Structure 1
C-alpha cells in the first residue's frame, strides 16, 4: 500500500509530495448518481484482488492488532512516536513553491475535526452505505482515543474523505475546486491521475499564521480496492490526516509501516494517537523539546514506572 501526507503552510492551499502526471482532458461532470464502472476500472479492481490474495498468502494484512509475537515497551513506543509524529513521509518533495519545512516539529489539529464522506458516481449505493458506516465508527473511535472533538457531518466539513474510482476523477476534481477554490493545479493533477501504486492518500493543510495546526484535509480512497484494503485505507489515511504523518520500518505492530503486515489500527497505534493529542504537547514543539514529555507519556500508557 502507498499513502502519503502532504503538508501545506500557505493559506488553504493543498500541496502534493508527488510530481504530477499529465492531466486528463476535461469532460463534463456527471451528477453523483450511480454509473457502472468502465472496463478499465474493472480491470483495476481485478488487479487489486490479485495483490490482496498475494499479501494474505504471505501472512500480511493482519487484522488481529498484534499479539505475543509483536511485543513492545515504552521505549519502543516513544521511539516510534518520534519517527511517525514529528516527520513527514516525503519531507522534501512538495511541488508547491514556498511551503515551509515542518520536519522535526509536531503538527496536529487544534480545532474540531468534522469529517464528511463523499463518493464518486462509480461507487455502488450499497458500498457507499457500508463505507460511510465504517468512517462513522472509526471517527467515534478516534475521538475516544484522542479526547479531541472528531465527528462525521453532512455539511461544513473540514476533512473530506472521497471514495472514487478510475472513472470519477472529473467529479472529484470538480468537488475539490468547490471546496478549496485556490487549490494548487499540482494537487488537482494528482487527484485526476493518481499513480496505480497509490491505493489511497491524504492531503492536509495548515495556514501561514499557524503552520503546525491543521485546518483542512482531503483523503482519496480508490473505489476499486478490495473490502479489506478499503478498510485499511480508512484507518491509515484518517489517522495520518490527524497528524501521524510518517511511516517507520521499526514500528510494530503498526499500520504506520510500509511492510503491509497490519491492515487495521493496532493497540500500538491507538497509543500513538493518544500521545499525539496529549495536552502536554503543543503544535510546533520540536522533537528535542518534546522528548522528555514523550517518554513520560509512553511509560504512563504502558503502565511502566516513571
Structure 2
C-alpha cells in the first residue's frame, strides 16, 4: 500500500521562503511563463542497476519481505500465482495508464521472467486494476493512495467484503484473483507509481522494509518504479523450485541455490549484516509523517526517530531518513535545524551508490535553500550533480522541480535565454510529474517565490 508520506513536497519548498500564516491574505507570485505548456515528456527504456548487496543479505530480505505483512503479522506460507497471469483495467482510465502498464508488463516479462499479459476489460483476469476517484478510494481507506486486496475482482466486491476473511492475506494458500484500486484523478506519475508498487505486491512480497535503500518495498517512497533489486526478488518469487504453500524454512533452504543462479555477482560481494528495525522507530517515523497529528507532535516524533537511530548506531538510510524527516518538519520555523539535518542526511545518502536517489531528494532541499539565499552557483551545481540519478529513477516530479530551481538561479544571474530553455525543459517533465496545468503553474509559482527577494538584490 502506497502511503501519502511525500504528497506534500510543495509544502517544504514553500517553507524555505517563510510563508505567511495560513489565514493571512496573500498574492501569489506570478509564474514566470504564461504561454501554453509544452507536450508531456516520458522516459525512454529504463536503466536498471543490479543490487549491490550479497546474496546472503538478499536472501534475508526476501524472507522478511515474503513472510510478514506491513502490520507485523506473520504469513504462514509463500503464496503466488501458479501459471500465467492476466491483467485487466476497468473504470475511468486516464490516457497515461495504458502505456505505463504496457511498459511495466514488458519489464516484468523480461526482467522478472513472469508470464503476464493484459486482457480486455470484459475478460476474466487474474488481476483487476480498477480506477476510481481518489475521494471514493480514501472514503474507505483514508491513508492509502492505492492498495491491493486478495480474492476480489471489483470495487463493489471490496465494499461488500472488506470486513470479512476474504481479504485476509494470512489465510491465502495460493493466489488466483487480486484487485488493485488506484485513483484516476491524479498526476500520470502518481498513477504509474501505484501501478508499480501495487502490481509488485499483487504478484509477490507484501511487506515493506525501511532498511532497503534500493527498492519500492520501502515505506519511505523514494523509489517509485521497480528497481533491479525488486525485479530480482520477483524473479526469485517465481523460480520453478518454489511454489505456493511452502513455509519460511522450506523457502530459506532453497534460496542460496536460486540466488547463486539468478545473481552470480552477489556470490562474491561480502555480506554486511543489518540490524532489525525496532518497532519504536517505525512508530516514530509514522507519527512524524502521518497526517493526523499536530506539527509539534510530528517534530517531536522525528526527533525521537533520530534519537533511536543514534542509539542503534545506524549510519545507513534509516539514520538518514530520520534526519530527512526532521529537516522537512523543521523547515517552517527552524531553518537552522532543517539545514543541518539535510546536510547530515545528504552525507549519509551519498556515501552509498544505492541511496543516491535519496541524496538527490536532499539536494533539491539544499538547492532551494541556496536559491532563496542568493547562492545561485551552489543551487545550479546541486541541480546539475543530481539530474542523472533522478532521470534514471524516472522521477519526473523531482526532475522538473530541480530544473525549475536551476532556471530561477540562471535568471537571477541574468542568463535569461538559458533560463528560458531550462524552464521549458522542466515543464515537459512537470506535465507528467504534476499533471494538470494548474498544478504545474502552482509549482512554478512556489519556485519563483524562492528567488523573489534575491532578484531585487542580486545573487551572492
Which band: TM-score by shorter chain? 0.5 to 0.7
Q: How many residues align?
A: 219
Alignment of 1:98-117 (within 5 A): 103-117=75-89
Alignment of 1:29-48 (within 5 A): none
Q: CA deviation at 1:194?
A: 3.1
1:245/1:258 CA distance change after superposition, 3 Å: same
Aligned pair partner of 1:283 in 230, 244, 248: 244
SS in 1 for 2:256: helix
Aligned pair partner of 2:8 in 45, 51, 66: 51
Asked if 1:201 corresponds to 2:167, the answer is: no
Whichever of the two has the greater Rg, that structure is: 2
Which residue of 2 is the match for residue 74 of structure 1? 55
Aligned pair partner of 1:299 in 256, 260, 272: 260
Q: Summarize deviations over 1:245-278 as a string: whole Å, max 9, x none.
A: 1111222300001111211100000100000000
The separation in 2 between residues aligned to 1:56 and 1:293, in whole angstroms, is 48
SS in 1 for 2:208: coil
The separation in 2 between residues aligned to 1:232 and 1:246, in whole angstroms, is 17
Q: CA deviation at 1:135?
A: 1.2
The separation in 1 between residues aligned to 2:6 and 2:247, in whole angstroms, is 42
The separation in 2 between residues aligned to 1:145 and 1:71, in whole angstroms, is 17
SS in 2 for 1:193: helix
Asked if 1:223 corresponds to 2:184, the answer is: yes
Q: CA deviation at 1:146?
A: 3.8
Which residue of 2 is the match for residue 84 of structure 1? 65
- Gapped regions of structure 2 (runs ≥ 5): 15-42, 153-165, 269-460
The separation in 2 between residues aligned to 1:234 and 1:261, in whole angstroms, is 15
Aligned pair partner of 1:163 in 109, 118, 131: 131
The answer to which structure has the higher helix fraction is 2
Which residue of 1 is the match for residue 91 of structure 2? 119
The separation in 1 between residues aligned to 2:76 and 2:13, in whole angstroms, is 35
SS in 1 for 2:144: coil
Q: Summarize deviations over 1:146-168 as a string: whole Å, max 9, x none.
A: 4332110001223111221146x
Q: CA deviation at 1:131?
A: 0.3
SS in 2 for 1:199: strand
The separation in 1 between residues aligned to 2:12 and 2:118, in whole angstroms, is 32
1:162/1:48 CA distance change after superposition, 3 Å: farther
1:66/1:54 CA distance change after superposition, 3 Å: farther
Which residue of 2 is the match for residue 135 of structure 1? 101
The answer to which structure has the higher strand fraction is 1
Query: RMSD in angstroms over aligned alpha carbons?
Result: 3.4
Which residue of 2 is the match for residue 20 of structure 1? none
TM-score (normalised: structure 2): 0.42
The separation in 1 between residues aligned to 2:213 and 2:7, in whole angstroms, is 25
The separation in 1 between residues aligned to 2:130 and 2:66, in whole angstroms, is 24
1:192/1:275 CA distance change after superposition, 3 Å: same
1:53/1:265 CA distance change after superposition, 3 Å: farther
TM-score (normalised: structure 1): 0.62
CA contact (8 A) 1:254 1:262 kept: yes
The separation in 2 between residues aligned to 1:73 and 1:67, in whole angstroms, is 15
